Amino acid sequence: MWMLVWSLCGGGLLAEGLPEPGVLFYGSVANTQSGARITSGTVTWTFTTGDPVSTVVVSAPIRDVGGQSFYVVEVPFETVTSGLTLSANTFSLPSSTTTYGRSVKLDGQDVVILDATGKQFAVSAADRGLVRRVDLQFIPSGAPETYEAWSTRFFGIPNADPGADPDGDGRTNLQEFSAGTDPTAVSELSIAGAVRYYASGLTVSNVTFQLTGSATANFTTGPDGLYRFGLLPGESYTNTPSKVGGEPPAQGVSTLDITLLRRHILGLALLDSPYKILAADVNGSATISTLDITFMRRVILGLTNSMPAGSWKFVRSDFVFADPTRPWNAETSRSYAGLTAERANQDFVAIKLGDVNASWTPAAPATSSLGGVVDGGGASEDRGVRVVAVEAASAERAIAGEAPGQIVKNAEPGLDDGEGDADAQLPFSTSLKPRPIVAVGDAFVTPDDGLVSVPITTSQFRHVNALQFSVRWDPMFLSFVDTTSYGLDRMEPSHFGVEHARGGVLTFSWDEPDGKAASIIEGGVLFTLRFRPVRGNRGWDSGSTSIRVTDDPTAREFVQDGELVALDSRDGRVFLGSLRPGPASLSLVALQPGFVRLQVRGAPGVRVALESSSDLIRWVRFEVLGAASGGVSVERVESTARSGGARFYRAVEIVP
């Protein structure tokens, strides 16, 4: 035993100070909004003293203590004698009464100390082992400030006398608290107002007002959109609002806004409000051009988080536009020279840049992970595959066309889009038409394939002004290559957001470039996705992986005849298999120049895939048709305008 004590001393393990009983704080944390005690979370106290400042930080979780929710922390103290040094994060026990500063947070957010001494407490050597209850008060974001928090903010204690009048202005602390004024100012005047969204009048939260001039201060609006400053009279100030973050970047901005902006640029339908014109100038150039469209689309596709001119613009509510068609001189702040009276109703109009149809509404922040689709795989009976070339047809037989086959440009009422009926003769309104659908086609891939093509087909795509949505897949199984086979007028790669494709996410936004409308023949291809299968992934043993049309991060939107219409979708799957011969049936029917209808039949209980080739060597699979108990029997419209030579088609059966 003597040798053990000698070893500890000789090894220096007792070089730190001698531990003393610390000061123990405990208490509850109340939520001011609900009135209930908070039952979970971490309370972190920070204590300071001395010059230079010495700091100790201690944390503890809120936990159940005898059926009640309390936090319990101990402020550590040590006695330091000759040859000893103070441990880290510890105070030296004082020989005389010493005052310590203190602050506290709950999960990183400030809380109010409900103790008579507020932000300070005193300790002496006689206080070793002292236990003191200190309850706390948590004010959620947007909740009104409590008297205790207000009192702490101005006086450092939570219980300043409500009836006192420390600044001698004739108003008690309680009256100053109710009015939101400074109880320590000798005298003050207030400026106050609200922020409301243009056209809708909705209040806007999280707007920060920056006060400059004779004094500097800031104020952030809550859900009620209100702000207020208490200011010294006779001084000069400028008040400027701004708003950054707090919601998804594309909140209120969609491809419909692009369509309306394009029609304004082309002179087809002018924006009828100076606020809409300001919303359209997303790059702050004091002009409206197709460059603004480019920036808007990048936000919609999730390629950037803000417009070049920011996300928001604010205009003083009483500003009069000399020329509403050229609103570039709109005043975005309010100035006060020699303030001599209270100023109420100092309101501002808020504009979300890019939202030219005033569709913005408050929303919670997006929770998108921009990750891939986690899929449970397909049924095991899909793993076997057999294939047979049933019938080949030349381009001459299919009647080759001159333009991309599915496009019907600039559709107007009365246009016959290839179905033999003029749209103007429809006996019902757009709102009663069958809902449009985008469908992800099925496809399959063998171990030897380098690429797999997955078509996105359409139904009821007539008089389309604008369109947007997201596509998700599992990047563990499929690696994105590109998009091809565009089916809408002047669709191009810039209409796709591929920045997050490695994570299994593609975004899409298109609008008719002439500000009119376009149609796709029933069953036609919107575009085709091309992937490389990820080799060596044991997950392929499940047989298949899904590809889905989603609202995250770019929400589904379909604009038809200038109106928003609900867009339905159908998921698709990519199947893994091997190939061997088997029976099938395929025939061709010419429709009109540039189109052929494939009629396919297969055996009961199996899937049938379609492939095409221009040389009978390299075959491209473009659709997998579902199995049916009575056998597959479907028709598929195809464009024959992809090449000027022969085009061949064959059927592939996927069997157990």
DSSP secondary structure, 545-604, as one string: EEEEEE-SSS--EEEETTEEE--EEE-EEEEE--------EEEEEEEETTEEEEEEE--T
Please tell me the pTM assigned to this model. 0.52
pLDDT of 256 > 70? The answer is yes
- Reduced to 3 states (helix: H, G, I; strand: E, B; else coil), residue 610 is strand
* Residues linked to residue 45 through DSSP beta bridges, in sequence order: 58, 104
Buried b (16+ CB within 10 A) or exposed e, 18-32: eebebbebbbbbbbb
Among 279-288, 328-337, 642-651, the minimum mean pLDDT is found in: 642-651
CB 496 within 8 A of CB 506: yes
What does the pLDDT read at residue 549?
Answer: 96
Task: Give the pLDDT mean for 55-61.
Answer: 95
pLDDT-wise least confident of 439-448, 519-528, 583-592 = 583-592
Is the pLDDT at 391 greater than 60? The verdict is: no
Arithmetic mean of pLDDT, 309-335: 96
pLDDT band at 111 (very low <50, low <70, confident <90, very high): very high
Element (H, E) at 264: helix 255-265
Mean pLDDT of 196-207: 95
Q: Supply φ then ψ for residue 425, to 5 degrees.
A: -90, 0
Would you place residue 33 in the very low, low, confident or very high pLDDT band (cuts 50, 70, 90)?
A: confident
Structure-token pair, residue 127: 């206080």
Reduced DSSP (H G I as helix, E B as strand, rest coil) percent helix, strand, coil of the chain, to 5:
10, 40, 50
Query: pLDDT confidence of 180, banded at 50, 70, 90?
Result: confident
Q: Average pLDDT, stretch 208-228?
A: 93
Q: What's the token pair of residue 167?
A: 């600044």
Tokens of 171: 């108003």
What is d(CA 324, CA 277) in angstroms, rounded to the nearest whole number?
9
Give residue 505's identity as a one-letter amino acid code. V
pLDDT at 409: 30
pLDDT at 639: 62
- Which of 488, 521, 529, 527 is closest to 635 using CA atoms? 521
Q: What is the pLDDT of residues 404-427, one digit of tens each?
A: 223 233 333 333 333 333 333 222
- Mean pLDDT of the region 277-294: 93
Q: CA-CA distance, 299 to 306, in Å (whole number)?
A: 7
Tokens of 483: 């998009």
pLDDT of residue 583: 56
- Specify the pLDDT at position 406: 30
User: What order do you get walking across the sheet with 312-316 strand by strand?
Assistant: 226-231, 189-197, 348-352, 312-316
End-to-end CA distance of the chain: 78
Residue 93 has pLDDT above 80, yes or no: yes
Helix H or strand E encompassing 73: strand 68-79
Q: Which 3 state secondary structure label does DSSP give 608?
A: strand
Q: In percent, how much of the chain has pLDDT > 90?
A: 44
Instruction: Give Rg (Cα) of the chain.
Output: 35
CA atoms within 13 A on the CB side of 40: 0
For residue 446, the one-letter residue type is T
pLDDT of residue 231 exceeding 60, the answer is yes
Q: Inform me whether the pLDDT recorded for 393 exceeds 60.
A: no
pLDDT band at 378 (very low <50, low <70, confident <90, very high): very low
pLDDT category at 2 given cuts 50, 70, 90 is very low
Q: Is the peptide bond before 553 cis (omega within 30 degrees of 0)?
A: yes
Is-contact 237 211, C-beta < 8 A?
A: yes
Which of 200-209, 225-234, 417-426 reaches the highest mean pLDDT?
A: 200-209
Dihedral of the alpha carbons of 418, 422, 428, 433, in degrees to the nearest 10 = 20
Which range has the top average pLDDT, 157-161, 204-208, 490-494, 522-526?
A: 204-208
* 621 pLDDT above the threshold of 80: no
540 has pLDDT over 70: no
pLDDT of amino acid 427:
27
pLDDT at position 4: 36
SS3 per-residue string spanning 405-456? CCEECCCCCCCECCCCCEHHHCCCCHHHCCCCEEEECEEEECCCCCCEEEEE
Pick the more confident residue, 264 or 3: 264
* Cross-strand bridge partners of residue 36: none
Mean pLDDT (the chain) is 79
Least confident range of 141-145, 267-271, 371-375, 506-510: 371-375
- Percent of the chain, pLDDT > 70? 74
Q: Are 395 and 595 in contact (CB under 8 A)?
A: no
Residue 485: the pLDDT is 92
Lowest mean pLDDT among 172-181, 372-381, 480-489: 372-381
Of the given ranges (178-187, 245-254, 365-374), which has the lowest mean pLDDT? Answer: 365-374
Task: Encode pLDDT of 610-619 as tens digits.
Answer: 777 765 656 6
pLDDT by residue (tens digit) across 332-367? Answer: 999 999 888 889 999 999 999 999 999 999 876 444
Res 568: pLDDT: 93
Average pLDDT, integer, range 240-245 = 91
| Range scoring the smallest mean pLDDT among 100-114, 259-273, 356-370 | 356-370
68-79 and 91-92 strand pairing:
parallel
- Give all domains of the chain, ordered by start, each with its CATH number: 16-144 (2.60.40), 380-654 (2.60.40.680)
Report the distance separating Cα 449 and Cα 454, nearest Å.
Answer: 14
381 pLDDT exceeds 90?
Answer: no
The pLDDT assigned to 530 comes to 94
- Average pLDDT on 454-474 reads 93
- pLDDT exceeds 80 at position 376: no
Q: How far is the CA of 648 from the CAs of 145, 399, 615, in angstroms?
A: 74, 13, 8
Q: Report pLDDT for 117.
A: 86
